[in-house]
Amino acid sequence: MDILNALVVLTNFVLIPGLAYGSQIALGALGITLIYSILRFAHFAHGDVMAFGTAFVILGTWGLQAAGISFGPLPTALLALPLGIAVIILYLLLADRLVYRFYRRVKAKPMIFVMASLGVMFVTNGLTRLLMGPGERRFDDGQRFLVSAREFREWTGLAEGLALRSSQVITVVVALIAMGVLFWFLNRTKSGKSMRAYSDNEDLALLSGINPDRVVWITWAIAGTLMVLAGTLYGLDKSFRPFTYFMLLLPFFAAAIVGGLGSPVGAIVGGYVVAFAEMGITYAWRRVFSHLLPADWMPAGLMQALPVDYKFAVTFGILVVVLIFRPTGIFRGKTL
């Protein structure tokens, strides 16, 4: 019984939130890693483009709600996803045409690309605030809980509660589907193979007749889709606020680098590593151990490695350790 209680506490406060957060980071890191390996630069506008796309999903959700259309127990925002994805793909292609294409033509150094994407980031940042304002927006509707903490306690008779929100399940399911489709596309389709060829060796790929513009377009389209998915899922699960989306840039890059830049599997693994490290290291383990240890063995403290404020420090810490000891990341990606 006590072990069960300990497990429930751990699941409630670390495993479920960590799994949902990890999936959101993994989707973001996948986009970063794709852009890095094919377009060959670190895309700093990722978080803000994500916010911009989510803003359109929210507008679409409001429109659908106003028209009286709902998705039953599922959030209406899922129906508005195509709108957000379409707008963001157009936006990214426009950004590519106006900004990045020029630097690609003159074969600019990666650092110049990064600075250009920083500029795109500031512009997008402003556009999002013009469109939605800087404040917090909640746009989740439908059934909020699959299992609520109080119901769980009543059903099981356990001392601890367990909450499972539908947005957390949706996050994990949608993320898994998106990852599956992406791997199928990269490994099984002709376009996917041409992207991997272009990523491995640009000159060789051009010689064998691959159209570079097409590869660039497809990359932006996939990255844009992943961004809007990650942004919408994060917003459904937590809340939408342009500033928090911008702050997600750090865990995204940490996940992509930890997993190995350029490796899609690495980005996913990295996402979960970063999420569980952030959660686990700043979690106060006292409650879990109070169910496992005899009362007189319990230490007085909270059994917390770092206070909650240091969440971002954990991410930085992982990044530094990986860059020192294994700069290629877990899955032998490229170095920055």
Interface with another protein by CB under 8 A: which residues?
12-14, 17, 21, 134-136, 138, 145, 148-150, 152-153, 160-163, 165, 234, 238-239, 241, 243-244, 247-248, 278-279, 282-287, 302-304, 307-309, 311
For residue 244, the minimal CB distance to another protein (Å) is 4
Q: Which H or E run includes 165?
A: strand 164-165
Cβ–Cβ under 8 Å, residues 2 and 190: no
Residue 124, both tokens: 């997008």
Residue 191, both tokens: 């376009």
> With the C-alpha atoms ordered 253, 91, 228, 136, is the resulting torsion angle positive or negative?
positive
DSSP annotation of 305 reads: S
| Angle of CA points 230, 235, 240, to nearest 5° | 120
Question: Which lies closer to another protein via its Cβ, residue 71 or residue 289?
Answer: 289
Question: Which lies closer to another protein via its Cβ, residue 10 or residue 215?
Answer: 10
Cβ–Cβ under 8 Å, residues 267 and 26: yes
For residue 237, the minimal CB distance to another protein (Å) is 8
For residue 128, the minimal CB distance to another protein (Å) is 15
C-alpha distances in Å from residue 274, one per residue of 16, 22, 103: 15, 7, 33
For residue 290, the minimal CB distance to another protein (Å) is 8
Question: Which lies closer to another protein via its Cβ, residue 27 or residue 163?
Answer: 163
For residue 75, the minimal CB distance to another protein (Å) is 16
Give the integer Cα–Cα distance in Å for 336 and 334: 7
Question: Which lies closer to another protein via its Cβ, residue 150 or residue 332?
Answer: 150
C-alpha distances in Å from residue 57, one per residue of 62, 77, 230, 235: 9, 6, 12, 10
Cβ–Cβ under 8 Å, residues 64 and 80: yes
For residue 56, the minimal CB distance to another protein (Å) is 19
Give the integer Cα–Cα distance in Å for 152 and 140: 22
Question: Which lies closer to another protein via its Cβ, residue 251 or residue 264?
Answer: 251
Question: Which lies closer to another protein via its Cβ, residue 112 or residue 302?
Answer: 302
Give the integer Cα–Cα distance in Å for 220 and 99: 13
For residue 227, the minimal CB distance to another protein (Å) is 16
Question: Which lies closer to another protein via its Cβ, residue 136 or residue 200?
Answer: 136
Beta bridge partners of 71: 74
Question: Which lies closer to another protein via its Cβ, residue 67 or residue 300?
Answer: 300
Cβ–Cβ under 8 Å, residues 276 and 262: no
User: How far out from the chain centre does Cα 321 lie?
Assistant: 22
User: How far out from the chain centre does Cα 183 lie?
Assistant: 17
For residue 289, the minimal CB distance to another protein (Å) is 9
For residue 118, the minimal CB distance to another protein (Å) is 22
Give the integer Cα–Cα distance in Å for 264 and 248: 19
Question: Which lies closer to another protein via its Cβ, residue 106 or residue 300?
Answer: 300
